[in-house]
Amino acid sequence: MEYIPQQTQSNILCCLCGVLIPANPSNMCVNCIRSQVDITEGIPKQLIVQWCRGCNRYLQPPNHWAMCELESRELLTLCIKKVKGLNQVKLVDAGWVWTEPHSRRLKVKLTIQKEVFSSAILQQVFIIEFIVQGQQCPKCQKFEAKDTWNAVVQLRQKVDHKRTFLFLEQIILKHNAHSQTLNIKERTDGLDFYFSNKNHGHKFVEFVSSFVPIKTKRSEQLISTDEQNNNANYKHSFSVEIVPISKEELVCMSPKVMHSLGGIGPIVLVTKVSNLIHVIDPNTLQSGEINALSFWSHPFRSLCGQKQLVEFVVLDVTLTGERKGKFAMADIQVARSSDFGSNDTTFYIRTHLGNLFNAGDMALGYDLSTAVLNDNDFTSIKTKQQVPEVILVKKTYSHINYQRHWRTKRLNKEAVEQMKKGDLERQAEDEELFARDIEQDSEMRGKINLYKQDNAENILAERRKRKQEIGVEDDNENEVDLAELLDNIDLNNDTELDDDEEDDDEDYEDDDEDYEDDDEDMDME
């Protein structure tokens, strides 16, 4: 039997300190290699990061400002990207070393590896210190400098509620359409958006027109002229008026608009307002769409709104079999909720919401039998043809005063100074009605972003428990689902300044960027 000797690793003496070590290509021990070779050479140990005090964002070269929390993964990535020389080594690990938040120092511990002396891999741990220096970002510079705007968009709607602006606010936040604004001011009948460039204002007007029907007027005010170079600086104003029609309102169309829609109406219900006004005749299921040009050519106003809604009890439902989309025609017997116990007045009506109602359900509608409407078109129509006594608008659900498990962002805007008590109450009422519209309209929720409360699961559990105690059935099929909500929202920060600064596009730059400050704003009202 042949003897095979076992291979053993040979030991040698370190060429520098003489310590017995396993043989390696460098013939040196680990301590001597570290004393002779520094793999961190060429990597700076101290760097500077720029931080904006106004919006709490950090500069990511060349001109991108990012929102990062202290000791967050985003800030760690930003700091590592500033370190030069890491491409020559292998980065194994990176982490934060705690520092006092007010010290304006950030310390990052890096673990790197590098091959030295032919196949000898050396690993080393070291710390890089980042000094936080204050520097205003371009957005905060423009915000602090008063009257630096070059264009203003004055958004107005002549109605007695703010639900349209609440919806537009959520649309603007979802699409980040306010990223180029210098300031947003709240007015009694709308909002003012200030921009540094007239093309930014024009782009914003086009964005608004894609969601609501509007009428736009543009004007400009001369600020200064340079006769030698034949240059002039202007401040531009865009007066934008939203149609005074909202969802679920009852309108009486003008004869020309009625004929352009194939003879629909003239008493119709507004089912949806997008860039078009969608209306339906509750008696015939005939529907139509009115664009902004048609409306402003032959304007009409709403007969009844949210304040005129009356609660009814559905007593009997008989479907006629006629359907159109999500609507179904039905003959319904209803009675006012306020009449129970006092009289037996009932109404036999026809409605387009027959597929929603069953006997015993509650509904909101317009009671035209007792309404006093001072509208010339409606008065002339009422004398010529029969007008429905009741027009149902929507189904109502048992509403309990509970804490909501969702919430929305808000724009960072300057509020109206010295608001009256009545205005504050009306604003709170509009916000509550808008929140109920969100809860009952799944299509609306698809256009905006909703966010979880911190304790959303506990709120839902408490709500279910309370409903069981009082014996209320949860029959709202369109209620906000927890899966529809988004996470990670910091409500303590200004939403307007949380979004990343977009790079300026040359296509949106004007030649007249420089202009003098002006103390008077253009008022297009």
Instruction: Determine if residue 237 is left, alpha or beta; phi over 0 gives left, psi from -120 to 50 gives alpha, anything else beta.
Output: beta
Contact at 8 Å (CB) between 11 and 23?
A: yes
pLDDT at 378: 66
Q: pTM to 2 decimals? A: 0.68
- The answer to whether residue 47 scores a pLDDT higher than 80 is yes
SS3 of 401-439 = CCCCCEECCCCCCECCCCCCHHHHHHHHHHHHHHHHHHH
Q: Which residues 6+ apart lie within 8 Å of 277 measured at CB?
A: 213, 243, 245, 270, 289, 290, 291, 295
Span of 28-37, 166-175, 206-215 with lowest mean pLDDT = 28-37
pLDDT at 510: 42
pLDDT at 129: 93
CA dist 519 and 522 (Å) reads 10
- The answer to whether residue 165 scores a pLDDT higher than 60 is yes
pLDDT band at 519 (very low <50, low <70, confident <90, very high): very low
CA dist 512 and 223 (Å) reads 11
Of all residues in the chain, the percent with pLDDT exceeding 90 is: 30
CA dist 265 and 32 (Å) reads 94
The residue that leads in pLDDT, 277 or 256, is 277
**Tokens of residue 16, six digits:** 């520098």
The residue that leads in pLDDT, 493 or 72, is 72
CA dist 78 and 71 (Å) reads 11
State the average pLDDT over residues 93-119. 87
pLDDT band at 384 (very low <50, low <70, confident <90, very high): low
CA dist 258 and 272 (Å) reads 18
pLDDT at 525: 32
The SS3 of residue 452 is strand
Chain centroid offset of residue 500 CA = 14
- The answer to whether residue 210 scores a pLDDT higher than 90 is yes
State the average pLDDT over residues 479-496. 64
pLDDT at 515: 36
pLDDT band at 523 (very low <50, low <70, confident <90, very high): very low
pLDDT at 376: 62
Span of 51-65, 128-142, 143-157, 317-331 with lowest mean pLDDT = 143-157
- The answer to whether residue 492 scores a pLDDT higher than 50 is no
Span of 143-147, 255-259, 367-371, 491-495 with lowest mean pLDDT = 491-495
pLDDT at 201: 93
CA dist 80 and 84 (Å) reads 9
- The answer to whether residue 426 scores a pLDDT higher than 60 is yes
pLDDT at 34: 73
- The answer to whether residue 49 scores a pLDDT higher than 60 is yes
In terms of Cα–Cα distance, which of 423, 427, 396 is closest to 410? 427
State the average pLDDT over residues 177-200. 89
- The answer to whether residue 68 scores a pLDDT higher than 80 is yes
Question: Distances from the Cα of 116 to the Cαs of 10, 12, 19, 113, 460, in angstroms?
Answer: 21, 19, 20, 10, 60
pLDDT at 475: 54
Contact at 8 Å (CB) between 120 and 22?
A: no
pLDDT at 277: 93
- The answer to whether residue 97 scores a pLDDT higher than 70 is yes
Mean pLDDT of the chain: 81
CA dist 195 and 282 (Å) reads 44
The SS3 of residue 85 is coil
- Tell me the β-bridge partners of 313: 335, 362
pLDDT at 486: 85
pLDDT at 478: 64
Contact at 8 Å (CB) between 487 and 451?
A: yes
DSSP codes, 229-271: TTEEEEEEEEEEEE-S--TT-EEE--HHHHHHTTS--SEEEEE
Fold for the domain defined by 38-134: Nuclear Transport Factor 2; Chain: A, (3.10.450)
- The answer to whether residue 505 scores a pLDDT higher than 60 is no
CA dist 172 and 166 (Å) reads 10
CA dist 281 and 287 (Å) reads 6
Q: Write b or e for each residue in 492-517: b if 16 or more Cβ atoms lie within 10 A of its Cβ, otherwise e.
A: eeebbbbbebeeeeeeeebeeeebee
The residue that leads in pLDDT, 484 or 34, is 484
CA dist 52 and 494 (Å) reads 13
Q: Could you report the per-residue pLDDT of 291-324, keeping only the tens digit for each?
A: 999 999 988 888 888 888 999 999 999 999 899 8
For residue 34, the surrounding DSSP H or E stretch is: helix 30-36
- The answer to whether residue 31 scores a pLDDT higher than 80 is no
pLDDT band at 495 (very low <50, low <70, confident <90, very high): very low
Q: What is the largest CA-CA distance in the chain?
A: 124
pLDDT band at 224 (very low <50, low <70, confident <90, very high): confident
pLDDT at 319: 92
For residue 11, the surrounding DSSP H or E stretch is: strand 11-13
- CA 403-404-409 angle, 5° bins: 125
CA dist 92 and 136 (Å) reads 34
Q: Could you report the per-residue pLDDT of 346-375, keeping only the tens digit for each?
A: 999 999 999 889 888 889 999 988 877 766
CA dist 470 and 173 (Å) reads 38
Contact at 8 Å (CB) between 216 and 240?
A: yes
Contact at 8 Å (CB) between 313 and 340?
A: yes
Domain positions in the chain are 38-134, 146-242, 250-396, 403-416+448-489
